[in-house]
Amino acid sequence: MHIPFDNSYAALPPRFFAAQSPTPVAAPRLLALNDGLARDLGLDPNALRTGEGLAMFAGNAVPEGATPISQAYAGHQFGGWVPQLGDGRAVLLGEVIGREGRRDIQLKGAGRTPFSRGGDGRAWLGPVLREYLVSEAMAAMGVPTTRALAAVATGEEVFRDTIVPGAILTRVASSHIRVGTFQYFYARQDTEALGLLVDHVRARHHPDADGPAELLEAVVQAQAKLIARWMSLGFIHGVMNTDNMGLAAETIDYGPCAFLDGYHPDTVFSSIDRHGRYAYANQPQIAVWNLAQLATGLLPLMKDREAAVASFTETVNGFATHYQSEWLTLFGAKIGLSTMEEDDADLIQRLLDILATNRDDFTLVFRGLSDGSAQDHVTDRPAFDQWHQMWIGRLRRDGAGEKAQIALMNRSNPAVIPRNHHVEAVIAAAVAGDMDLFHAMHEATTEPFTPHPLFGAAPEPGEEVQATFCGT
């Protein structure tokens, strides 16, 4: 199969990666193919459905022009330092240049690599389908994200807590360069590599940035916008380690991620986040912490270290201003405001506090503001009614008109998100051999602003998912 690869990362020195071919699997079967994304990449979906395409997605054949590698990086995981991580179960086939620029094509779950640290290098079906659904839903909601091109069943078994079916996800990203990539070379005092990495990232993601200081500023601003979007949708990443923060400012590595059902700022779904480090409300401050690690990694490139520390500290602390501005714009749109007033942040926060008291449904309440059904999903009606009167007065001052305000709310508040209980039902059905529910949920969640009779519903008490799990 011919794919027009143009592999810039593989052209960097060998210490940036390990040359690594995927490990073939026994009996691959195509489960899902993203036709629209394939076309955006300049690829023919029909060709990808052939035996040659399946062999590529399964890792059974390396297409002509590919330079398969596994990338090296380090990272702080839950605050603890790990000097070498790297792609322990992923192989980057190469890069293609499509309608939206340069994109990585990576196989996730493609077998052991030099960075596997004793792991099997494989993925199982559940996390593959979760990442496919959630990443594509995020893209449909306008959130910068990695994308899912294909999901393949391997015909092999994987052992986690029990025996589960194996699968491989073909992931597409603007790049897979992480904060941890800079940390990897900083820890090795490899200033030359840091310089090459800065030049590569500038050329690829921030061509207007002139040097490390401007690159840091660009990344801080982009990450502030990304995290604000997460918050506006009730999304919890779950594992905001520095190796899971990309320099492309895309949401990457959907492990134990989830969307809020009932709202509370302290909500945690990740089974491995036992102390709430990456709780919903903590995500902005964790982003600042991660960006501070990036800034540290850039210091060796600065001639005046003392001045750079002061400058970089100011840049990283500037995250708060960028984030708050974006948060207010996004949440303002969620309540129908196209202009901002001094007290709008307090008005929005007051509604969030009402929801938090009884963990009322985040998505249904905000969506219900446009059609009058929000009150049906709020437990403390007196408090909500009081807020509602304040909100109506604020809408009148906004002056955009009811029709425009409703339209703004309806395109800012999804009616359908990948709710945890639906994702779990999809996985259970798929493990049993039925992919119909997956395809139905995929169709619904990639039209997130269109109400859906099944996938728009909140979980019943017995359906609530309290924890999500990493697939490794």
**Residue 327 and residue 150: Cα distance in Å, rounded?**
33
Nearest to 23 by CA among 148, 119, 164, 160: 119
In this structure, the chain runs to a length of 472
Q: Residues 261, 420: contact at Cβ < 8 Å?
A: yes
Contacts 24+ apart (CB under 8 A), 311-320: 311/213, 312/213, 312/216, 315/213, 315/216, 315/217, 315/220, 316/216, 316/220, 316/288, 316/291, 316/292, 317/288, 318/217, 318/220, 319/220, 319/223, 319/224, 319/284, 319/287, 319/288, 319/291, 320/284, 320/288
Catalytic sites, residue numbers: 243
| Residue pointed to by tokens 């139905």 | 440
**Residue 465 and residue 183: Cα distance in Å, rounded?**
35
Q: By three-state DSSP, how is residue 56 classified? A: helix
**What DSSP assignment string belongs to 14-49?**
GGGEEE-PPPP-SS-EEEEE-HHHHHHTT--HHHHT
**Residue 166 and residue 424: Cα distance in Å, rounded?**
17
